[in-house]
Amino acid sequence: MKDFKYYLNSISEIGFVEEASNAIVHISGLPKVVTSEIVIFETGKIGIVLSFTSEIVEVLVFSKEPMGQGTKVVRTNEFLKVPVGKELFGRIIDPLGNPLTSMDAYKKPEESRGINSLAGGILSRKTITRQLETGIPIVDLVMPLGFGQRELIIGDRKTGKTNFLMQTILAQVKQGHICIYAAIGKKRLDIKDAEDFFKKHGIFDRVIIVASGFDDPIGLSYLVPFSAMTISEYFRDEGYDVLLALDDLTTHAKFYREISLLGKKFPGRNSYPGDIFYTHAKLLERAGNFVTEKGEKAITCLPVVETVQGDLSGYIQTNIMSMTDGHLYFDSDLFAKGRRPAINPFLSVTRVGRQTQSTLKRDINREILSFLTISEKMQNFSHFGAELTEASKVTLAVGEKVIKFLDQGPSTTMPINLQILLFSMLWDNILQNRNIEPIGADVNKMIEIYKTKPNVSRTIDQTITDAKTFNDMLKIMREKGEQLLSSLKS
């Protein structure tokens, strides 16, 4: 982009700042300006046009420096773009494409894209049929996700939502996909923690972090999810499946509310502007499963929303629930009990995930959910102090084993075939009243053996392929379950 003098000489239109209030500046002049056009101030700062009347132009600026009355402004006849390309891998950038960390060896991509592209139409989309593996049993087996799904991650603060995103990104990068993490108005320490996690696990070269700090101009924070989505669209068109995590849209909504109130828009419910639903809907609609020139490619979007004391009926919460294909609810009570991840399967929904599962996986899904329902009822019944029957005690004991199996450490990802094998072993042991518990062994060691010994992983994968239903799987476990288990321990 050229400087102030270039556009003044080439376009020959000038405006003047009439009023400035934090992120919003009102300008007179610029008779041919259009919405979303970039304007440049004589100080070198830039902004975009939000709206205009015959007398006043409303501009969102990307700087905290105060604009003095009478400051000159020119329009550029250009629209906001973000640089896109493989040069962004392993970088933390702001929504304008500027690096937020060391610029050593950083080469800015030559290609750029407008951040406000339209969502693809129905003819460019395809039914979601491929399962996205998170490496977390309670999600992969109980609340499955599909490539191209928009799944809301919702729950109180400090319940493990960001940890879940990190685990999912870790699992996806290891499968060869590209991941983009959008940190909206985060503390610098939180952004650094995310970077350290990716570097520790050796995946930062396939991850891009688009971030804004809580002390950055609110105009920049507002743009973060749109820039991240634009970068995702670029890699989708290049032939990659992309996972996009938006952390979080509650903060984004607050920034947009502040911008709207400063712009003197009429406030609606909870003082949010009337177009807050449209703003988030046009963003999330850009994700999905698409037919591209390079085949079927998807942008899977995981927006995060924070609740207060577990209230799922808040304005922003219900808005985004209605835009997405389900939600994973992180329960603060389960978190306090030590469950990791603290996902409540009874209050979570996946609208399209189950259609991606095979018959075997659907059988396991039904088995786990139906048993957890019974176990939960027994647990609630026992709180009344009633004397439990022997059958009820057995149900509660088995429930603890299943829950223990579904728990997962913060840096661990378990391949889905290994999840199926271990759960089948556990369930067969329960049915046969045996005390052998595969989950009692060192699961991390089993995962390492599965990933590093091709002969073991091939045998397990073939076993899963041979089993068409869960009953078939249980029969196989009775025949050679101990042999498979011993191969994972040696």
- Give the active site residues: 351
Residue type (1 letter), 468: K
From start to end of 317-449, where are the E strands? Answer: 326-330, 349-350
- Any idea which residue has 């992120």 for tokens? 23
CA gap 253, 271 in Å, rounded: 11
Instruction: Cis check for the bond before 237: say yes or no (omega within 30 of 0).
Output: no
Question: What's the token pair of residue 143?
Answer: 């609340």
Within 8 A by CB and 6+ apart from 292, the residues are 236, 237, 239
Residue 111: partners with Cβ closer than 8 Å, 6 or more residues away:
83, 84, 85, 234
Q: What is the DSSP letter of 214?
A: T
Cα torsion 284, 351, 145, 462: sign: negative
d(CA 312, CA 356): 27
Of the CA atoms within 13 Å of residue 441, those in its CB half-sphere come to 19
**CB-CB neighbours of 120 under 10 Å:** 18
Looking up tokens 């003098």 gives: 5
Which pair of tokens denotes residue 442? 């060192």
Could you tell me the two tokens for 379?
């647990």
C-alpha span between 15 and 26 (Å, rounded) = 10
Q: What is the DSSP letter of 247?
A: E
Q: What is the CA radius of gyration of the chain?
A: 26
Q: Classify residue 138 by its DSSP letter.
A: I
Type and span of the H or E element at 15: strand 15-21
Q: CA angle at residue 463 from 443 to 355, to 5 degrees?
A: 85
E strand or H helix at 403: helix 390-406
User: Token match 């003095």: residue?
Assistant: 68
The two tokens of residue 134 are 């998170």
- Report which of 101, 79, 105, 77 is spatially closest to residue 91, judged by C-alpha positions: 101
